[in-house]
Amino acid sequence: MTIMEVTVKCKSGFQSKLTTLFIQKANSFTSGIFIENGERKANGKSLLGLLSLGIGNGSKVIISIDGDDEAMASVKLRECLEFDEEDLERAAV
């Protein structure tokens, strides 16, 4: 199991574009993925779960990944949460 703390760098926080991109990346892995923000925890592959966490710019979240591809998942998902607005625009193209 991989557990890491990541700071969200996107100015809009964990809103539509970033959330959609994160879920797409998370679903490309077989590992179980969970995100914690404060006392709340959600499945990293669930849109409603992630939006319910209220993650904003500068939030420090804990990502837990458990499975065969957790090493690659941890790299890609960290990159995703550390995107700024320009990175999101490039990724959307």
78-92 pLDDT tens trace? 988 887 666 655 655
What is 2-85's CATH number? 3.30.1340.10
* Domain residue extents for the chain: 2-85
Helix (H) or strand (E) holding 33: strand 32-37
Q: Which CA distances in Å does 26 have to 22, 74?
A: 6, 10
pLDDT at 93: 44
How many other CB atoms are found less than 10 A from the CB of residue 30? 11
Residue 4's pLDDT band, with cuts at 50, 70 and 90, is very high
Q: Do 59 and 7 touch, CB atoms closer than 8 A?
A: yes
pLDDT at 61: 95
The model's pTM: 0.85
